[in-house]
Amino acid sequence: MIDKQLLLEGCRSFEIELPQQAPDQLDVYAQLLVEWNEKMNLTAITEAREIVFKHFVDSLLLLKAVQLPQGASLIDVGTGAGFPSMPVKIARPDLKVTMLDSLQKRLTFLQAVNDQLGLDCSFLHSRAEDGGKQKHLREQFDFATARAVANLRDLAEYCLPYVKVGGYFVSLKGPEVEEEVRESKNAIATMGGKVEQILHFTLPEDSGRSILVIKKISQTPPQFPRTAAKMAKKPIL
């Protein structure tokens, strides 16, 4: 379905090297994504070229933003159709990847992709704020990631509770993030985080991307994360 040469060229333009089997696996993933998307709403992006750049290369930029040690644990909070975590897992099969989502049908799709590709991802059906309170998940991961439209202030509260002290929350965002970062500074600090880096990328066809690298420097206070309603009612300003 996808042009594998285009995929490889797109990755090489960011100095991302893929293992030999990855283009074939990503092709299968793309086919399943389009097939399942006819039955459920997974993505608005279904054209092959757009899948290559706006889903696959975009997700793999995570590997440029942070050094993921061999065997590191990563949780993708609100994974949706598996971005960025499924392409990252395909590129780095050594990683221990957990995908969390509040909708079971999305996880059913991702389990099907996982099984067809012979991967060993874990799947969690939970709301982000509930999972972050559970002892076996709280501060257990080297990395948390989210490629989400939610405000960074809320994402910090959702994601940082999962990260070990010394680990990182990596947020994949659109091109304009500076104001959002300023508005989220207190929330990030309250959750025990500190913005370490903001990286900017331009995908082919001039689509801008930002990746925020937030280090977990202290434990998240036990009262967080709060429910979405409480976050909306009393944002950390």
Q: What pLDDT is attached to residue 149? A: 77
- pTM (2 decimals)? 0.97
pLDDT for 30 equals: 98
Tokens representing 166? 């010394």
Q: Which of the four pLDDT bands, split at 50, 70 and 90, describes residue 24?
A: very high
82, 91 contact by CB (below 8 A): no
pLDDT class of 148 with cuts at 50, 70, 90:
confident
Mean pLDDT of 115-137: 97
Rounded mean pLDDT of 91-110?
Answer: 98
* Partners of 219 in beta bridges: none
Alpha carbon distance 46, 225 (integer Å):
34
Backbone angles phi, psi at 193, to 5 degrees: -110, 165
- Structure confidence at residue 207 (pLDDT): 87
What does the mean pLDDT of the chain come to?
Answer: 96
* Mean pLDDT across 18-26: 98
Q: Any idea which of 161-165, 179-183, 206-210 has the lowest mean pLDDT?
A: 206-210
pLDDT at 35: 98
Positive or negative: CA dihedral 99, 133, 159, 36: positive
pLDDT number for residue 5: 96
Mean pLDDT of 97-123: 98
Nearest to residue 11, comparing CAs of 169, 146, 201, 175?
A: 201
Report residue 204's pLDDT band, with 50, 70 and 90 as the boundaries.
confident
Please give the pLDDT value at position 206.
74
Q: Could you tell me the domains of the chain?
A: 68-233 (3.40.50.150)
Share of the chain above pLDDT 70, in %: 100
